[in-house]
Structures are given as C-alpha cells and as structure tokens.
Amino acid sequence: MPIRHYFGRNLTTLILLLILLLVLSACNSTLPHAAVTDQPITQDRATRRLAPGELLLAADDDAIPALFLDDTVFVSAQDGSREWRDDDLVIGVAINGDARAYPIRLLSLHEIANDTIGGQPVAVTWCPLCFTAIVFDRVVTTHNTPRELTFGVSGFLYRNNLVMYDHQTNTLWSQLLGEGLRGAQSGTQLDFYSSSLNRWGEWKTAYPQTRIISAEKLGLRAADIVDPYSSYYVGGAAGFDTGAERNETLSAKQLVTGLVLNDQARAYDLQAIAAENVINDTLDAIPIVVFYDSGFQSAHAYSRLVDDRMLSFERTDDATVVRDRETNSKWEIRTGIAQSGPLAGQRLSRLSAPLVFWFAWTDIYPHTDVYGMPIATGG
C-alpha cells in the first residue's frame, strides 16, 4: 500500500480534530480559489528567528498522518469524476506536462502528501486553519549537495500555521514561511511550485488529461470522506488566540493573496484583485504584476522585469490573456508566457503568492501592508 501510517494513532487524530472543531461555526458560503506552472520558484525572503513559546504543540508528531503517494493511487479525470463531485475543492498542480489533483476533503485529514509529479519530488501541503495550499520542492540543496526529503505533520502550530518536519533531519518547517524553524535545516528556505486551489470541475476543464487521487484505491469511499473543517472555513472563528493584537484592516476570514520580497510583505484582497483585474505594483523596489484569473477565481503574480526591461500590463477581451503596453505583446496569465508580439516565447518570472485567510497572513507577517488600503489595528 503506497501510504504509511494511514490510520496511525486514530484516537489521537480524533482528539486533535475534536479540539480544532470547537472553533467551527456552521454556515454556507462560496469560496474562491488560489494559482499554475511547471517551474520551481526561488524567492528572496528574510529568514525568521524562532522566539521562545511561539510553537504551540497541538498533537503528537504523525497524529495527523501524511500521505506517501505513487502513480497507482491516481485515476483519470473521467474515472475520478465517478468519485469526486465537480464542486469539490482540489489542489491542482501541473509540472512537466503531468497534471494532478488532490481533493481537500482528503487532505484535511492528512495535511501533507509526498508525491512525485512530472519527475519532480514534491510535498503538497494544506493548512486548514489558514486555508493555505502550498506545493514545495522536496529536494533541498545544502553545501552544494541536493537531498530529497519527505515530510510529516509535526503536531506543532507556528502562529496558527502548519508546522511540518522532515524525516531525514527532523527539522521543523513553517508551511507559510517555507522555512526551517528549528533543527539542522533552520533558516533554509524551500522552493515552491505553483498550484491552484479551485473546484474539481474547473481544474479538469482546464487540464483534461489531469489525474486525481482515487479514494477507492486507498480503500475508502469518497462519499464517506468528510472535511471536519468545512464549517470553520466560513464561520466566524479564526484559528487559535496567539495573544497578539489582531490586525483589523480586513475581516479575519477575508481571503488575500500574500506576497513577500526580502523583508517586505503585502496582502492583496482577492476582491480588490478581481475588481481591478490587472494590478501593476512595486514591492521592495521590484516591479510586480498581479493578474486576476476569473476562471479559477484566483490570482497569479509575476515580476514585471523581462531582460531588465520593465513592462506594464493591461487586460484584453480574453480573460486569460493580457497585453503589455510597451511592446503590445500578449501574455497568458496562467503560465506567464508571451503568446504573440515582439516578446513571443518570453516568460515572466513567477512569484509565490499563496491564497490565505487575512488573520493567518497577519499572524505570520504582522507588519504587512495591504494594497490600496491604510492599516488598522484592533484594541
């Protein structure tokens, strides 16, 4: 069976979920989604020094069992649609022509899936408290030596965010920071792969050759898998109280796209991105652009520098294509590749820009600013 410890420590897992579910509240809402490319992302970010008491132990390590997957548990979009509903949230990843989908109903019970996509070892991670999906490159290079890591759920939370650990060095890693917090790899930063958090129906339409995890191949029935956080996502409660003053610029559960360059963090309200469609901006003196993807209801962020030339972008009649004002070249927003014009074939440098609840973003980046808005703090 391609999964280790699938039902390991059932009682501990149940207790953990029951504790977390105390913060849930019941109501219904339509949730937007979050971005797709086959290039790993290396992004300059200031390293974080762990302060005493910042790690909250919520459960034993592996009480929430990570998945260890191989090709045998994936099925075609047609077969997968017999198990999963079109409105199921999935994390979609496409690397080197290999597109895969990971249902959130399943990942909420595991939080990490170790897999290989398009020949690249990856960790598909999901933090239910933060509503954050991030895909990491599992190959970490230190002292010019690459090493493949596998990840598990440590049981710790760092400012409400998932803390992973790797089995090879036992380093603790923050999901949202993508950085080693404690251990041999402390201060090391993981590279990202772009991913998309959206509905299964939307993902398989955009990527018809995609494959999806089969619950049946795990010995389960998809219809019986319940996301224990489904009410929490749309309820009023927002993670655990860390004792820090909450930033009230936006509502706690407002979805934002977060960007960090060096030590400067900025949040982009997803509703504001949708309203403007194209945002030409500058962060830490670096010209960037944020595109709204109406099909995925998500955002894509890139550097606006191409061969040391700064571009500015505007929308076109095609929702998935933008135009740069300088050369009139047309660019596909999901890949960042110029389709036509003088810059045809050029590719924008993608930036890591996860979708995340506002409260979780400010827990990790308390000094963040918000695009187009003044900062407000609560009493």
Which residue from 30, 21, 33 is spatially nearest to 92, judged by alpha carbons?
33
HEC-encoded secondary structure of 19-31 = HHHCCCCCCCCCC
202-219 confidence digits (pLDDT tens):
999 999 999 999 999 999
- pLDDT of amino acid 245: 77
Residue 42 has pLDDT above 70, yes or no: no
227 vs 109: CA distance, rounded Å: 7
pLDDT (average), residues 16-37:
43
Same domain, 199 and 302: no
Same domain, 56 and 137: yes
28 vs 235: CA distance, rounded Å: 8
Same domain, 182 and 153: yes
Q: Is the pLDDT higher at 18 or at 342? A: 342
- pLDDT of amino acid 50: 78
Which residue from 104, 110, 314 is spatially nearest to 212, judged by alpha carbons?
104
Judge whether 194 and 37 are in contact, CB under 8 Å. Answer: yes
- pLDDT of amino acid 95: 95
What single-letter amino acid sits at 111?
E
Does residue 116 form part of some domain?
yes
Number of domains in the chain: 2
HEC-encoded secondary structure of 200-224 = HHHHHHHCCCCEEECCHHHCCCHHH
pLDDT (average), residues 313-335:
96
Domain of 282 in residue numbering reads as: 255-370
Does residue 244 form part of some domain?
no
What single-letter amino acid sits at 374?
P
Instruction: Indicate the average pLDDT of the chain.
Output: 88
Residue 154 has pLDDT above 90, yes or no: yes
Phi, psi for residue 153 in degrees, rounded to 5: -90, 120
pLDDT band at 138 (very low <50, low <70, confident <90, very high): very high
pLDDT (average), residues 349-363:
95
Q: What percent of the chain has pLDDT over 70?
A: 85
Same domain, 298 and 226: no
84-95 confidence digits (pLDDT tens):
999 999 999 999
Indicate which CATH number applies to the domain containing 277: 2.102.10.10
Identify the weakest region by mean pLDDT among 26-35, 43-52, 319-328.
Answer: 26-35
- pLDDT of amino acid 46: 60
Same domain, 44 and 183: yes
Does residue 249 form part of some domain?
no
- pLDDT of amino acid 52: 77
Same domain, 351 and 304: yes
Same domain, 285 and 224: no
What long-range pairs does 116-122 form, CB within 8 A, spacing at least 24?
116/70, 117/93, 117/193, 118/38, 118/94, 119/95, 120/40, 120/95, 120/96, 120/193, 121/148, 122/93, 122/95, 122/193
- pLDDT of amino acid 213: 98
Residue that is written with structure tokens 């132990």 in the block: 57
Residues 6+ apart with CB under 8 A from 244: 159, 363, 366
From residue 242, how far is each of 119, 347, 359 by CA, in Å?
A: 40, 41, 11
234 vs 257: CA distance, rounded Å: 18
Same domain, 223 and 179: yes
- pLDDT of amino acid 25: 38
| R_g of the chain, CA atoms, integer Å | 20
DSSP code for 38: S
2 has which bridge partners? none
Does residue 262 form part of some domain?
yes
81-123 confidence digits (pLDDT tens):
999 999 999 999 999 999 999 999 999 999 999 999 999 999 9
Domain end residue (candidates: 205, 234, 263) = 234
Residue 168: count of CB within 10 angstroms of its CB:
15
Structure tokens at 254: 């407002």
Residue 140: count of CB within 10 angstroms of its CB:
22
Does residue 246 form part of some domain?
no
Does residue 1 form part of some domain?
no
pLDDT band at 73 (very low <50, low <70, confident <90, very high): very high
Instruction: Beginning with the edge strand found earlier in the chain, give each strand of the sheet holding 313-315 in spatial order.
Output: 313-315, 321-324, 330-332, 337-340
Judge whether 233 and 81 are in contact, CB under 8 Å. Answer: no
Residue 266 has pLDDT above 90, yes or no: yes
Residue 336: count of CB within 10 angstroms of its CB:
24
Residue 38 has pLDDT above 70, yes or no: no
Same domain, 111 and 182: yes
Residues 6+ apart with CB under 8 A from 56: 156, 157, 158, 240, 242
Q: Is the pLDDT higher at 373 or at 172? A: 172
Same domain, 77 and 224: yes
Q: What does pTM read for this prediction?
A: 0.87
pLDDT band at 40 (very low <50, low <70, confident <90, very high): low
- pLDDT of amino acid 377: 54
96 vs 76: CA distance, rounded Å: 17
DSSP code for 322: E
From residue 259, how far is each of 48, 118, 173, 194, 324 by CA, in Å?
A: 16, 26, 19, 13, 22
Q: Is the pLDDT higher at 3 or at 161? A: 161
Does residue 283 form part of some domain?
yes
Q: Which helix (H) or strand (E) holds 361?
A: helix 358-364
- pLDDT of amino acid 6: 35
pLDDT (average), residues 350-372:
95
234-252 confidence digits (pLDDT tens):
999 988 877 677 888 999 9
Which residue from 37, 61, 42 is spatially nearest to 112, judged by alpha carbons?
61
What single-letter amino acid sits at 110?
H
Residue 51 has pLDDT above 90, yes or no: no
